[in-house]
Amino acid sequence: MTATIRIKLFATLKAHEPENAAAYPIAPATTVSELVERLAVPGDMVKLIFVNSRRAALDTPLKDGDKVGIFPPVGGG
């Protein structure tokens, strides 16, 4: 059984969201950083990372069922 995660990319990053974002397969012990690279999200656009609604970091490892959210810098009003 392959581990899958849910991916939600916000604002300008949405263009990088894969079609299978609701059940995206990952290799064991994939980190957020590796995921970002695989999705071709520019590194300087990754400002806020959440895993299962908690603040996470680039080196956070991911596991089956995780929900990952990534924000670019947003400053409009």
Q: Site for other proteins (CB under 8 A): which residue of 4, 6, 10, 31?
A: 10
- Smallest gap from residue 44 Cβ to other proteins (A): 8
Is-contact 68 35, C-beta < 8 A? yes
59 near other proteins (CB under 8 A): no
CA distance 21 to 15: 12
- Cβ-based neighbours of 8, under 8 Å, separated by 6 or more: 17, 21, 67, 68, 69, 70
Nearer to other proteins, 1 or 54 (CB): 54
> Which residues are near other proteins by CB under 8 A?
8, 10-14, 47-48, 50, 53-55, 69, 71-77
